[in-house]
Chains A and B, each alone.
Chain A
């Protein structure tokens, strides 16, 4: 057994994960970027590992990933139109100091500026988000209070026994835990981008909730005030031991600029018996301008292993940003009666492309999964839901309910629903519902006749459309996400 799968005591799960590794949905690569050439080779990997003071095994792990990556074919698939990416023409560790910064907020894309204002983001924070020269130091002063708040959080977590660290710190402080679990759910060779991530990931988050512990706070609260190290290649690993509970939120409603066009994160979740993990994402990376120029490519691999009986993982995502989004948060439901949930809102506007969905792999008896996907496409954008529900031979009495609703705004956008269903146990019950609708003029006029302007009317209708998903989000983020949906669709309705 290879080192990245040895922690999988369940051979079925391990086989399922292996099989997932041969991705069916791909896309093309080979890029051009205007950065000064830097490139990727073994020395780059060694450099990263050395910079982070990593133990030897970690370097070996990265190098192995790198060597595998070299052998992987560049993926080609999905409904995405992806310009070629040149991996040798990118930076893999902290981009050079001379970051392309703005001299002042006046140089910022006025659209983004308006969005910041609508979200009510303070000027100093706007500067940090936009990368205005000299902004950071000022902002640190401005959030001084938050820093002390963060320390309080840290202490409270420590008292509860929850480990919450950057993955680099965790590697040094809890090497055994990290070594045991890293790559166990998303193996190194899983797919092209996950493999690349394994070789060069810069940092990320590690969460460990011990047996019987209910994490005393939403980890979002902490994360949001420490959101600055959202990097290009993030790696997140969350482990909930028996009976543990944790809710984690990543992302930011403010559109963030990043000089790195390619983002390839990996998230691994492990839930043991009776454990529950809620993982929520609000993703609003720069989507490119109105003509489709610029924008982040977001290729994420997120997977959860519900290893224990009655374990539960919920993925909730609100995706509004990025030029290209490619992600399928998945659950391998190995434990008996384990539960996987996927709640998703994906909004595309202008020239954005999103290909997102989930995979629910039912292995254990009595496993259940729920998929609620809401796709909203406006402008000339394309929005695809792609989902796999697989019921393995031993998943007696497994159930899945899938509901995919698409909302079209205007007549130049596209919505696609592509469900894959594979059932190898006849006792399984699978329900699939799909709808496609348009915002009706009647609804819009009704809302406007009551006092809402055109944009607010559309935002309200869209929020209604997404309600089942939004209500899964932690309260304070639900409110922001609602605002964000409205803003993302601005100008899309006549």
Chain B
């Protein structure tokens, strides 16, 4: 589904990704861990197409398409979702309007009909109930006045609403209380399917207790330096990144 080969990318003039390769197949869950500043969010932003992130070398394809050639919204329509480490506030635009506009924009790009108001609301009710977001919050401006944890739950809600093929979740577990962590994990597990894949960026084993990954990677200094199974995360939890070759 996602094939990244020897990816080099700069933020401004500064090289951050330095030859990163990764293959994610449909049905798989990959966890990416790594020290602060290693380039995890940078990878997520490069994959989602953020301006100011320049790929200097290497390739990334999504379902065989050259991902790097697409605009951010085209990547979204192709089925890529980025759960932000720091979700953004958009005052005056309700969460519901935002999502409906986004969902319909994606559908239009894919040549699908727009979703009806009734179907949309039905979906909203199901997904928001799962994540414990009430209607009053969803009528507020996008993330406006949301607590840190509520913002993350809102990212998970958007994931459920937009139903992408590949979810890149950048520290969606950070800032969540114990119950919310369980709830969001359930959301991710519900999302898992043989047709979909998940790339979890996280610092903590506790998320991986709930969402069992197929692979765990360590990203350090702009490269994947080690790959293993779920036990790698446990080892990191115990030993830290000291022993990992950078």
CA distance A352 to B98 in the complex (A): 30
Cβ-based interface call for B219 (8 A) = no
Cα distance A54–B11 in the bound complex, in angstroms: 72
With both chains docked as a complex, state the minimum distance between the C-beta of A385 and any C-beta of chain B, in angstroms. 18
Interface residue A40 (Cβ < 8 Å from any Cβ of B): no
A453 touches B93 (CB 8 A): no
**Binary flags per residue of A440-479, CB closer than 8 Å to B gives 1, else 0:** 1111011111111110110011011111100000000000
B118 at the interface (CB under 8 A from A): no
Identify which of A445, A457, A467 gathers the most chain B CB atoms within 10 Å of its CB: A445
Task: Enumerate chain A residues within 8 angstroms of B72, measured Cβ to Cβ.
Answer: 445, 448-449
Tell me whether A443 and B101 are in contact (CB under 8 A).
Answer: no
Q: Is there an interface contact between B102 and A452, defined as CB atoms closer than 8 Å?
A: yes
Considering only CB atoms, which chain B residue lies closest to A437 in the complex? Answer: B91
Q: Are A451 and B162 closer than 8 Å at their CB atoms?
A: yes
Q: A441-B52, A443-B90, A460-B93 are in contact. Are A453 and B71 (CB under 8 A)?
A: yes
B102-160 CB contacts (< 8 Å) to partner A? 102-103, 105-106, 109, 141-142, 158
Q: A441-B51, A443-B88, A449-B82 are in contact. Are A464 and B102 (CB under 8 A)?
A: no
Which of B50, B93, B102, B141 sits near A445, CB closer than 8 Å? B50
Q: Which of B52, B77, B141, B142 contacts A451 (CB 8 A)?
A: B77
Contact pick for A453, options B73, B98, B99, B162, CB 8 Å: B73
Min C-beta distance of A444 to chain B, whole Å:
8
Question: Which residues in B have their C-beta under 8 angstroms from that of A446?
Answer: 84, 87-88, 90, 142
Q: Is B198 an interface residue, CB under 8 A from the partner? A: no
Complex Cα–Cα for A494 and B72 (A): 14
B92 at the interface (CB under 8 A from A): yes
Interface size on A, residues (CB 8 A): 25
Contact A463 B82, CB 8 Å, known A450-B158, A450-B162: no
Query: Chain B residues near A445 (CB, 8 Å)?
Result: 48, 50-51, 72, 88
Instruction: Say whether, besides A441-B52, A445-B51, A445-B72, A450 and B92 are in contact (CB < 8 Å).
Output: no
Residues of B within 8 A of A448 (CB): 49, 71-73, 76
Chief secondary structure at chain A's binding surface: helix
From B49, B51, B71, B76, contact of A450 by CB (8 A): B76
Task: Tell whether, in the assembled complex, residue B90 and residue A461 are in contact, meaning their CB atoms are under 8 Å apart.
Answer: yes
Query: B52 — nearest CB in chain A belongs to which residue?
Result: A441
Find out whether the CB atom of A450 lies under 8 angstroms from the CB atom of B90: no
Residues of chain A within 8 A (CB-CB) of B106 are: 450-451
In the complex, A461 Cα to B81 Cα: how many Å? 20
Q: Which of A317-350 contact B (CB under 8 A)?
A: none
Taken together as a complex, chains A and B put the C-alpha atoms of A460 and B102 apart, in Å, by 10
Closest A residue, CB atoms, query B108: A451
Closest-CB distance, A478 to chain B (whole angstroms): 13
CB contacts between A and B, total, < 8 Å: 86
Q: Is B92 within 8 A of A464, CB to CB? A: yes
How far does the Cβ of B60 sit from chain A's closest Cβ, in whole Å? 16
By the criterion CB–CB under 8 Å, are A447 and B102 in contact?
A: yes
- Nearest to A467 among chain B residues (CB) is B92
Task: Specify which of A442, A456, A460 is in contact with B88 (CB 8 Å cutoff).
Answer: A442
Residues from chain A with Cβ under 8 Å of B88 in the complex: 440, 442-443, 445-446
CB distance from B163 to the nearest CB of A (A): 12
Question: How near does chain B come to A109, taking the closest CB pair, in angstroms?
Answer: 27
The distance from the CB of A438 to the nearest CB of chain B, in whole angstroms, is: 14
Query: What residues of A have a CB within 8 angstroms of the CB of B50 in the complex?
Result: 445, 449
Contacts A441-B51, A460-B98, A460-B101 given; does A449 touch B76 at CB 8 Å: yes
Contacts A441-B52, A445-B51, A464-B141; is A451 near B92 (CB within 8 Å)? no
Assuming the contacts A453-B73, A456-B101, asked whether A447 and B92 have C-beta atoms less than 8 A apart, the reply is no
Q: Which residues of B contact A463 (CB under 8 A)?
A: 92-93
Cα distance A450–B61 in the bound complex, in angstroms: 19
Pairwise interchain contact B93-A464, C-beta atoms closer than 8 A: yes
| Most chain B beta carbons < 10 A, residue from A450, A454, A457 | A450
Q: Which residue of A442, A453, A466 contacts B92 across the interface (Cβ within 8 Å)?
A: A466
Which B residues between 39 and 73 are near A, CB-CB below 8 angstroms?
48-52, 71-73
List the A residue with the shortest CB-CB distance to B45. A445
In the assembled complex, how far is the CB of residue B115 from the closest CB belonging to chain A, in whole angstroms? Answer: 12
Closest CB in chain B relative to A488 CB, distance in Å? 17
Q: How far is the CB of B45 from chain A (nearest CB, A)?
A: 8
- State whether A450 touches B91 (Cβ < 8 A): no
Q: Nearest A residue to B82 by beta-carbon distance? A: A449
Give the residue name and chain of the A residue nearest to B107 (CB). A451
**Among B48, B75, B91, B101, which residue has its beta carbon within 8 angstroms of that of A452?**
B101
A464 B76 Cβ-Cβ under 8 A: no
> Which A-chain residue is minimally distant from B104 (CB atoms)?
A451
Which residues of B are found within 8 Å of A457, using beta-carbon distances? Answer: 73
B162 touches A447 (CB 8 A): no
With A445-B51, A446-B87, A460-B98 already in contact, the answer to whether A451 and B76 are too (CB < 8 A) is: yes
Could you tell me which residues of chain B, from 20 to 52, have a CB within 8 Å of some CB in chain A? Answer: 48-52
Cross-chain contact B103 with A451 (CB below 8 angstroms): yes
- Chain B nearest CB, measured from A86 CB (Å): 44
Docked pose: A304 CA to B205 CA in angstroms: 66
**Which 8 A-B pairs rank lowest in CB-CB distance, beginning with the nearest?**
A464-B92, A464-B93, A467-B92, A450-B102, A451-B106, A448-B72, A446-B88, A451-B76
Other A-B pairs beyond A451-B73, A461-B90, A465-B91, 4, CB < 8 Å: A445-B51, A450-B105, A463-B93, A464-B91
Residues of A within 8 A of B (CB): 440-443, 445-454, 456-457, 460-461, 463-468, 494
Could you write out 9 A-B pairs with CB less than 8 Å apart?
A442-B88, A446-B87, A447-B98, A449-B72, A450-B158, A451-B162, A452-B102, A454-B73, A463-B92
